């Protein structure tokens, strides 16, 4: 990077001589930035106050990670391992420039308004831009009728439901209540879909049989519990006529349920996460409590499921690949290892860190192996989530008028992943020791250089909340399974 001093400049910054890639095209050209926006894309653009030579590099839209648990509080006052500063610094070093994380509701302890206010206060130390999903675990009349409408109107345009986890899961009646409220308030719905009763039943019997190590986490959550819940919640969404996204699809069976519904014209969207493309249930059986590092939910399944998920990315069934970043410590008296030594698998904290490694892993194992092309890589990491969650046309691509959220990538840069060299506060990474080729070397958020040369260049608080309005993908089809419209009563 260099400065042109006092020369009168047309632009604030020009990125020159890189290969600019979007979800549809790629071209060797320049990108000009003014006032935090992309001002021009072309060849031989005018001078700028600063210039970056991207010769031999890829110039990609900044990633949008639409599934991150960052400094998410729990009822006991604790939170997961990262703060907003450390998690979003990690995101920037991995090429991600906008995250969507979760404002929780604690069942039996108040509503959603107070929790959202608290979460906004935490997020003000973010390094990259951010938005929120609103978790609903207790859809009381006050939550649905009084608290939810103004939150959605203020730009919290998506709500999350759990079909499992005690005490967060919703019954089918409650699911219908939330779906109807989302439709009324024009909010998008995202869902953790697993059958709670089946998991609880299997867990009790496994533990009664003395099968308690991390390995059996996958046994209590076979693919069928995901398949059933996906089929069920899609059916409920069809009854209410509400578009939905199924989070972290982990199995071939689950992906096939989504594809069948898409074939019927249902507006159901699928997401998977990097860990389901990288690991299998065999990793849960690593020695010395190492398997606890791979306890996340849904559980990883067979190698055939991993391969099938890549296939469904290629087919478009799964249009988004997120991190589901949920960091817990492995060491220490409350870490995963200590818990795994003395407690059954059901007590091991669920989740893995992944913000920084999401895009590099997908580039290395997707693009470089030929599983996907560069345009698909951009689509599943940036453009599709931006469109699906109402961040587009501000974010998700590189075009005049859009936010200058950009990653400059060295496609030949190879690193061996080490937790000690990443920027999360988690003391481990499941990707430890992996050789990954293709990393961002510079990251910009709204035209500001956030990361360059292995150094962060902005202070906490650079990130801004991104309110989201209505948008086409979230709108209902106007199709019901009977002539009766349950929303209008006729």
Task: Convert the chain into a string of H (helix), E (strand) and C (coil).
Answer: CEECCCCCCCEEEEEEEEEEECCCCEEEEEEEEECCEEEEEECCCCCEEEEEECCCCEEEECEEEEEECCCCECCCCCECCCCHHHHHHHHHHCCEEEEEEEECCCCCCCCCHHHHHHHHHHHCCCCCEEEEEEECCCCCHHHHHHHHHHHHHCCCCEEEEECCCCCCCCCHHHHHHHHHHHHHHCCEEEEECCCHHHHHHHHHHHHHCCCCCHHHHHHHCCHHHHHHHHHHHHHHHHHHCCCEEECCCCCHHHHHHHHHHHHCCCCEEEEEEHHHHHCCHHHHHCCCCHHHHHCCCCCCCCHHHHHHHHHHHHHCCEEEEECCECCCCCCCCCCHHHHHHHCCHHHCCCCECCCCCHHHHHHHHHHCCCCCCHHHHHHHHHHHHHHHCCCCCCCCCCCCCCECCEEEEEEEEEEECCHHHCCCCCCCCCCCCCEEEEEEEEEEECCEEEEECCEECCCCCCCCECCCCCCHHHCCCCCCCCCCCCCCCC
pLDDT at 4 > cutoff 50: no
Res. 2: pLDDT tops 80: no
Confidence band of 8 (pLDDT split at 50, 70, 90): low
Instruction: Take residue 183 and report the two structure tokens written for it.
Output: 């439709």
What mean pLDDT comes out for the span 291-320? 98
Cβ-defined contacts of 27-35 (< 8 Å, 24+): 31/59, 31/398, 31/404, 31/406, 33/404, 33/444, 33/447, 34/10, 34/447, 35/447
pLDDT band (50, 70, 90) for residue 469 = very high
Of 241, 244, 194, nearest to 389 by C-alpha is: 244
The rounded distance, in Å, linking the Cα atoms of 83 and 424 is 9
Across 70-84, 172-186, 228-242, 375-389, least confident range: 70-84
Q: What is the mean pLDDT of residues 451-467?
A: 98
- pTM, entire model: 0.97
CB 80 within 8 A of CB 67: no
pLDDT of the residue at 396: 98
**Mean pLDDT, residues 284-290:** 96
* Residue 207 pLDDT greater than 70, yes or no: yes
- The predicted model gives 383-393 an average pLDDT of 98
Q: Count of alpha carbons within 13 Å of 321, Cβ hemisphere only?
A: 27
Question: Which pLDDT band holds residue 7 (cuts at 50, 70, 90)?
Answer: low
What number is the average pLDDT over the span 452-469?
98
Determine whether 319 is exposed, middle or buried from the number of CB atoms within 10 Å of its CB (0-12, 13-18, 19+). buried
Q: Note the Cα 420 to chain centre separation in Å.
A: 23
| Average pLDDT estimate for 313-323 | 98
The region of weakest confidence among 2-16, 94-108, 138-152 is: 2-16
Pairing of strands 26-34, 11-21: antiparallel
Chain length of the chain? 490
Mean pLDDT of 181-208: 98
Contacts 24+ apart (CB under 8 A), 451-458: 451/92, 451/93, 452/1, 456/89, 456/92, 456/93, 456/127, 458/127
CA atoms within 13 A on the CB side of 44: 0
CB 42 within 8 A of CB 432: no
Q: Is 90 exceeded by the pLDDT of residue 108?
A: no
Q: What is the four-CA torsion angle of 32, 38, 43, 46, rounded to 10 degrees? A: -30
Q: At a CB cut-off of 8 Å and minimum separation 6, what does 404 contact?
A: 13, 31, 33, 36, 37, 38, 444, 446, 447
Q: Please list, in sequence order, all residues whose beta carbon lies within 8 angstroms of the beta carbon of residue 248, skipping any fewer than 6 positions away.
A: 67, 192, 271, 272, 273, 276, 297, 298, 322, 324
Residue 437 structure tokens: 């080729």
Give the pLDDT of residue 5: 45
Helix axes 172-185, 223-240, angle to 10 degrees: 50
- Is cis: bond before 394, omega within 30 of 0? no
Average pLDDT over all residues of the chain = 96
- pLDDT score recorded for residue 74: 85
Owner of token pair 């859809």: 139
Place of tokens 């009664």: 208
pLDDT band at 6 (very low <50, low <70, confident <90, very high): very low
């Amino acid at each position: 990077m260099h400065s042109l001093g006092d020369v009168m400049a047309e632009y604030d910054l020009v990125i020159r001589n890189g290969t600019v890639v979007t979800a549809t095209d790629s071209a060797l050209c320049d990108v000009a930035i003014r006032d935090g926006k992309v001002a021009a894309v072309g060849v031989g653009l005018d001078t700028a106050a600063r210039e970056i030579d991207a010769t031999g590099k890829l110039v990609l839209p900044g990633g949008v990670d639409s599934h991150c648990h960052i400094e998410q509080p729990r009822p006991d006052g604790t939170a997961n391992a990262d703060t907003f500063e450390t998690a979003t610094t990690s995101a920037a070093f991995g090429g991600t420039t906008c995250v969507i994380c979760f404002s929780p509701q604690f069942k039996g302890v108040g509503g959603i308004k107070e929790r959202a206010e608290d979460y906004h206060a935490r997020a003000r130390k973010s390094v990259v831009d951010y938005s929120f999903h609103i978790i609903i675990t207790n859809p009381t009349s006050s939550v649905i009728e009084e608290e939810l409408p103004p939150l959605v109107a203020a730009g919290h345009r998506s709500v999350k439901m759990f079909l499992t986890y005690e005490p967060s899961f919703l019954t089918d009646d409650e699911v219908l209540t939330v779906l109807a409220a989302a439709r009324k308030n024009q909010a998008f719905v995202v869902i953790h879909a697993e059958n709670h009763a089946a998991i609880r039943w299997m867990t009790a019997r496994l533990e009664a049989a003395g099968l308690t190590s991390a390995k059996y986490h996958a046994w209590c959550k076979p693919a069928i519990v995901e398949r059933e819940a996906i089929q069920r919640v899609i059916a409920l969404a069809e009854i209410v006529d509400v578009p939905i996204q199924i989070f972290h699809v982990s199995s071939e069976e689950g992906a096939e349920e989504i594809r069948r519904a898409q074939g019927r014209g249902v507006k159901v969207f699928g997401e998977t996460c990097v860990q389901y493309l990288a690991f299998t249930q065999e990793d849960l059986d690593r020695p010395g409590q190492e398997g606890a590092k791979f306890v996340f939910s849904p559980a990883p399944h067979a190698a055939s499921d991993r391969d099938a998920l890549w296939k469904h990315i290629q087919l478009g069934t799964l249009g988004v690949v997120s991190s589901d970043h949920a960091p817990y410590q492995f060491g220490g008296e409350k870490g995963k290892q200590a818990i795994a030594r003395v407690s059954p698998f059901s007590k091991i904290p669920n989740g893995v860190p992944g913000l920084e490694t999401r895009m590099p892993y997908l580039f290395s194992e997707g693009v470089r192996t030929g599983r996907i092309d560069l345009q698909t890589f951009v689509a599943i990491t940036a453009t599709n989530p931006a469109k699906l969650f109402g961040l587009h046309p501000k974010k998700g691509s590189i075009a005049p008028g859009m936010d200058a959220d950009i990653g400059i990538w060295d496609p030949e840069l190879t690193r061996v992943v080490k937790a000690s060299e990443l920027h999360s506060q988690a003391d481990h990474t499941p990707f430890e020791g992996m050789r990954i080729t293709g990393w961002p070397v510079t990251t910009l958020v709204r035209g500001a250089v956030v990361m360059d040369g292995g150094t962060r260049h902005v202070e906490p608080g650079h990130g801004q909340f991104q309110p989201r309005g209505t948008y086409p993908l979230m709108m209902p089809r106007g199709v019901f399974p009977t002539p009766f419209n349950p929303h209008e009563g006729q």
